[in-house]
Amino acid sequence: MFRTHLALGFLIGLLFLLIYNMPYPLLFLLIVTLSSGLPDIDHPKSKYGRKLFFLSIPISWISKHRGFFHSIFPALIIFAVLSYFDYSFVGLAILIGYIAHLIGDAITKQGINFLNPFSTFEIRGPLTTGALFETFIFYILIVINVFYLVKFIF
């Protein structure tokens, strides 16, 4: 679910900031959080898929949902291209947000293949998407986020 991905992206971005000193931490966190919804661009009915339909529809022709766009490779390509053009700050934030999404999907029953198309190895977890339990996890993430945000600010 979209909001759970954003909450997890926010948390992972925040933990990254607690470990590494980054310039413009708020901007960094914003890009990480927004990027954590990005892999679902391979699904035209997802939140980003509907908004960016001109990308999601062609993508859905070439890749199944949770296929190549749910591997680490699109994130690495985006990171490499942006770094090449001297935007490694943005590239790193997108990379972290993207990976946060993959981690989130990897703990669901459907699972994901981080190395698609070079491997068929899938990682899956016990979580059912959209279930009441996910709502519970979302609120747990909010509480943890508030805790670390306070820790980060003070």
Binding site for Zn ion (CB under 5 A): 39-40, 105
- State the nearest-atom distance from the C-beta of 93 to Zn ion, in Å: 18
CB of 152 to Zn ion, least distance (A): 27
Minimal distance, residue 15 CB to Zn ion, in Å: 20
Phi, psi of 129 (to 5 degrees): -70, 145
Q: Distance between CA 151 and CA 87 in Å, rounded?
A: 28
Nearer to Zn ion, 39 or 44 (CB): 39
Q: Judged by CB, which is closer to Zn ion: 6, or 17? A: 6
Which residue lies nearer to Zn ion by CB, 91 or 104? 104
Q: What is the 3-state secondary structure (H, E, C) of 58-100?
A: HHHHHCCCCCHHHCCHHHHHHHHHHHHCCCHHHHHHHHHHHHH
What residues pair up with 112 in beta bridges, in sequence order? Answer: 123
Nearest CB to Zn ion, comparing residues 17 and 113: 113
Residue 70 C-beta: closest distance to Zn ion, Å: 6
| Amino acid of residue 34 | L
